[in-house]
Amino acid sequence: MEYPVKTVCVVGLGYIGLPTAATLASRGVEVIGVDVNPCVVAAVNAGQPYFPEPDLDMLLRAATTLGKLRATARPEPADAFVIAVPTPFNDDRSPNLSYVDAAADAIAPLLASGNVVILESTSPVGTTARLAKRLARLRPELRFPPAHHTKPLDVHVAHCPERVLPGRMVRELIENDRIIGGMTEACAEHAEAVYRVFLQGKPFRTDASTAELVKLVENAYRDVNIAFANELSLICDQLGLNVWQVIELANRHPRVAILQPGAGVGGHCIAVDPWFIISSAPERSRLIRTAREVNDAKPGFVAAQIRERAERFKHPVVACLGLAYKPDVDDLRESPAIAIVAQLARGGPERILVADPNLRALPKELAAFPNIELCDTIAAVRQADIVAILVAHSPFRRIPQEELLRRVVIDATGLTHGSG
């Protein structure tokens, strides 16, 4: 059966909502993009992405020039509503669903028979059912899933988690296979119609709870595998072996594919999502919890390594290269490098020179320290006694070899081994 998708209201124009809105609009759908931040609304209406992401500027400009994407502070009626708001965790690491609740409350008065509501935000198991229940309470005259009667639903509800990699979002949004988790089979059909507008990957239908867990499992899988690599880096440090070479050689085995150790695991997804599994089944998530702990401990280990080397100098100057949560992005959320620099600055070396080619100012967590300066990469390296490579940004590969050979280098990324 065909379902018309002429207008889509995307609630939340963040890292996922904005590329999704722009992609739908570039395919001729009328898109209303909603965001509580007036600066985001203004930037989107001017056709300017407010964060760097390859090809997003082109896509956004095309969408706004065609007049198909309009950003606003309040949702408007549409055929489909896509909720792409943050789902962070609270101080006790329990999931914070307040943004999902706020989005539900904002769209509820606009819902009409025939609509589909899609939750894209990464969510603990049960969130989509909770969303449907909340909407049903706000609009008792409409039929929402789960259906306890034979009549067809008025509003369909589904969970279709995003799975795009920052840095490759525009391509992956279209090309990756998509999990379509309907609260009923009809809900999945309605939701799939929205993605069929642009999807080149395959849609896979399932129920909403399975889709919720699938998304969390994907990121927990990566977290556990990165934890294995990070644990190997600690073991190799104790044994005086080169972890990069150990992994490179182990990976020559046809059934071994170890990931890379680093300064820790950052970003808004992998460092957060495993906790949603742990909080719903704490007794049974032992490996997932341990992986989180191993990865969370890595920045402290790297900071201690740097401090130990710095103590050998009378007035140490340390260059810290990279602040972002991963290579070649400017995203600082949950960045292990920031945690390392902050730990060092507290009573550590006298001067810390921070270089990150994607940043023009120090983040607020570091700006208050008198012993931290933002610096050009080469200038930082030339003034330093110790060079700590915290993020394998591509431009760091162009640092002249002789500049590094003259200094103590602590490379948390494998960049100098050629693998970072």
In angstroms, the CA 198 to CA 42 distance is 26
CB of residue 417 to ligand SAJ, shortest distance in Å = 14
**How many CA atoms, within 13 angstroms, populate the side-chain half-sphere of residue 215?**
28
Burial group, residue 1, by CB count within 10 angstroms (0-12, 13-18, 19+):
exposed
Q: Which residues pair with 31 in a beta bridge?
A: 8, 69
Produce one character per residue of 89-127: b if its CB has 16 or more CB atoms within 10 Å, e if not: beeeeebebebbeebbebbbeebeeebbbbbbbbbbbeb
CB of residue 326 to ligand SAJ, shortest distance in Å = 4
Q: Which residues pair with 372 in a beta bridge?
A: 352
Rg, C-alpha atoms of the chain: 24
Q: Which residues pair with 205 in a beta bridge?
A: 180
Note the helical H segments in 29-119. Answer: 38-45, 56-65, 98-107
CB of residue 172 to ligand SAJ, shortest distance in Å = 7
Binding residues for ligand SAJ (CB under 6 A): 122, 162-166, 218-219, 222, 226, 259-260, 262, 265-267, 269-270, 325-326
Q: 3-class SS at 81?
A: strand
Residue pair 10/21 in contact by the 8 Å Cβ criterion: yes
CB of residue 215 to ligand SAJ, shortest distance in Å = 7
- Pick between residue 299 and residue 316 the one whose CB is nearest to ligand SAJ: 299
- Pick between residue 122 and residue 377 the one whose CB is nearest to ligand SAJ: 122
- Pick between residue 153 and residue 169 the one whose CB is nearest to ligand SAJ: 169
Q: 3-class SS at 106?
A: helix
Tokens at 3, concatenated: 């379902």
CB of residue 224 to ligand SAJ, shortest distance in Å = 11
User: Is 269 a residue of the active site?
Assistant: yes
CB of residue 162 to ligand SAJ, shortest distance in Å = 6
CB of residue 53 to ligand SAJ, shortest distance in Å = 12
In angstroms, the CA 166 to CA 327 distance is 10
User: Is 9 a residue of the active site?
Assistant: no
* 186 contact partners, CB below 8 Å, separation of at least 6: 152, 153, 156
- Pick between residue 259 and residue 404 the one whose CB is nearest to ligand SAJ: 259
Residue pair 353/319 in contact by the 8 Å Cβ criterion: yes
Produce one character per residue of 202-221: b if its CB has 16 or more CB atoms within 10 Å, e if not: ebebbbbbebbbbbbebbbe
Q: Which of 269, 298, 320, 375 is catalytic?
A: 269
In angstroms, the CA 315 to CA 349 distance is 7
Q: Which of 68, 215, 298, 326 is catalytic?
A: 215
In angstroms, the CA 80 to CA 402 distance is 58
- Pick between residue 115 and residue 219 the one whose CB is nearest to ligand SAJ: 219
- Pick between residue 115 and residue 233 the one whose CB is nearest to ligand SAJ: 233
CB of residue 10 to ligand SAJ, shortest distance in Å = 16
* 15 contact partners, CB below 8 Å, separation of at least 6: 51, 53, 166, 169, 268, 331
- Pick between residue 222 and residue 382 the one whose CB is nearest to ligand SAJ: 222
In angstroms, the CA 269 to CA 50 distance is 20
Q: Could you give the residue numbers annotated as active site?
A: 215, 269
